Amino acid sequence: MLEKHIPNPDIIYPRQNDKSTCYLKNVVKKSNVNIGDFTFYNDFYNSPEEFEKNNILYHYPINGDKLIIGKFCSIACGAKFIFNSANHTLSSCTTFPFPIFYEEWDKTIKVTEAWDNKGDIVVGNDVWIGFDAIIMAGVHIGDGAIIGTRAVVTKDVPPYTIVGGVPAKKIRQRFDDTIVKDLLEIKWWDWSIEKIQSNLTAIRKMDIEKLKS
């Protein structure tokens, strides 16, 4: 009898002979980035281990904003997270970022006054982010949502909602309200690995009653 394999969230490459897909939490080093178990990134251009460098942009420690991504998310090649420091303030009569060049203009100005701070980027659990999608600063994406290919997400996305386009707009809700409510209460992604594994068929086949029991 074969010994049962237990999935391991603490490895970098979960697929044999595949160095294009990695579990992100095991390659990200920044303290202001938090990624959940089994969330993976695939990159066929660069090493997926360079996710911090190539996909998390304008994320400077001075601003204090965070990237938080839940468990079991699927992130396609080229998806990017654009943080607040990429912005230029709109409350001034100029968009020129004088505070960035404070040494030249006025040393009393704070660098962070150069941009409007919209807060953290927060991605829920079991979210699928499509190829080349862009998630902008301050956006919160709910559990089970799907972000379409090359979408530019500038506003929050409700749970289990599919969005696409530039700027991203709702295409449809994946399930009816009752099922969405059940899934958000079940929170299967927070179960133990063993419980998820033993209920995998019910999760994959949408057997809500079995999952609720």
Same domain, 39 and 133: yes
pLDDT value of residue 5: 84
pLDDT value of residue 38: 98
Judged against a pLDDT cut of 80, whether residue 134 lies above it is answered with yes
Same domain, 89 and 111: yes
Judged against a pLDDT cut of 70, whether residue 56 lies above it is answered with yes
pLDDT value of residue 4: 76
Same domain, 144 and 133: yes
Same domain, 74 and 135: yes
Does the residue 61 lie in any domain? yes
Task: Name beta bridge partners: 169.
Answer: 164
Same domain, 152 and 77: yes
Cα separation, 176 vs 99, whole angstroms:
48
pLDDT value of residue 2: 54
| Structural domain that includes position 126 | 21-174
Same domain, 64 and 93: yes
Judged against a pLDDT cut of 90, whether residue 1 lies above it is answered with no
Say how many domains are in the chain: 2
Task: Share the mean pLDDT of the chain.
Answer: 95
Kindly give, in sequence order, each residue whose CB lies less than 8 Å from that of residue 27, ignoring residues fewer than 6 positions away: 12, 48, 49, 51, 52
- Cα torsion 195, 140, 20, 60 to 10°: value is -130
- Catalytic residue check, 88: yes
Same domain, 179 and 165: no
pLDDT value of residue 123: 98
